[in-house]
Amino acid sequence: MRRGLLVVVSSPSGAGKTTLCRRLLQEFPDLKFSVSYTTRPPRTGERNGVDYWFVDAQSFQRMVEAGEFAEWAEVHGNRYGTARAAVEDALVRGHDVLFDIDWQGGEKLKAQFAGDAVMVWVLPPSLQVLEERLRRRATDAPDVIGRRLAMAKEELLHYTSYDYLIVNDAIENAYDHLRSIYVAVHWELRRARFLAAKLLETGNT
C-alpha cells in the first residue's frame, strides 16, 4: 500500500498559511486536514471539529497527561495539540495529512515521522505586509495583534528546520508553489512504488 505523507505548513500568523491550506484541501479531497485541539476561544465563523476541537484547559491537560498528543505547544498564551490517534490512523490507511501548525509542532512531527513529513514554511513578502494583514484581521483584540506581531519576527527565524520556502506575495503565486511541492512529494518513488509493483504483478503493461 501507498505510504501516507505528512504535509506540515507553518508560518507566523498573518502570513496567509490558512488560506493556502484551505485551497489545497479543496483541490485534493483525499488530503485530510489534521484538526488540532486548542484552548483558544473560537473566532467568528470557526466551527468545532472543522477548524479546531475547542476544549477547556482541564480537558487539554488531561489529554497531555494521557499521552494523547503527537505534539502540543503553547502559542500566544493558548495551547494547541495534534491528536496522535487521528494522525496514525490516517497514515496507516495511506492518506496524506495536512497540518497547519507552528514551528514547535512542526519540529516535533519531523522528529517523530522522519522521512514521511514534508515541511513547508510560508513567508510574508515583508514585515510591513505582515503587520497590515494582522491589523486587517479584526477577529483578534488589539492587544492580541500586538503580541502576535512582536513574536512574528522571532518565529520567522525558525524557517531553517523546513524543507521548502514559499513567499506569499500574491495568493495565486504562493498557491501554485504549494500545490507543486505537494504533487511532487506525493509522487516520490518511495511512496508511489506500489503502483509500479501492482502493474508489473498483473502483467498489465
Binding site for ligand 5GP (CB under 6 A): 13, 36, 40, 71, 73, 75, 80-82, 100-102, 104-105
Our CB check for ligand 5GP shows the closer of 56 and 201 to be 56
Our CB check for ligand 5GP shows the closer of 42 and 115 to be 42
CB of 32 to ligand 5GP, least distance (A): 14
Helix ranges, 4-46 (H): 17-27
Q: Which residues pair with 80 in a beta bridge?
A: 38, 73
CB of 194 to ligand 5GP, least distance (A): 30
Packing angle of the helix pair 171-186, 189-202 (nearest 10 deg): 50
**Secondary structure class of 77 (helix, strand, coil):** coil
- Is residue 120 within 8 Å of 24, Cβ to Cβ? no
CA–CA gap between residue 106 and residue 142 (Å, rounded):
27
CB of 185 to ligand 5GP, least distance (A): 20
CB of 181 to ligand 5GP, least distance (A): 18
Residue whose Cβ sits closest to ligand 5GP? 105
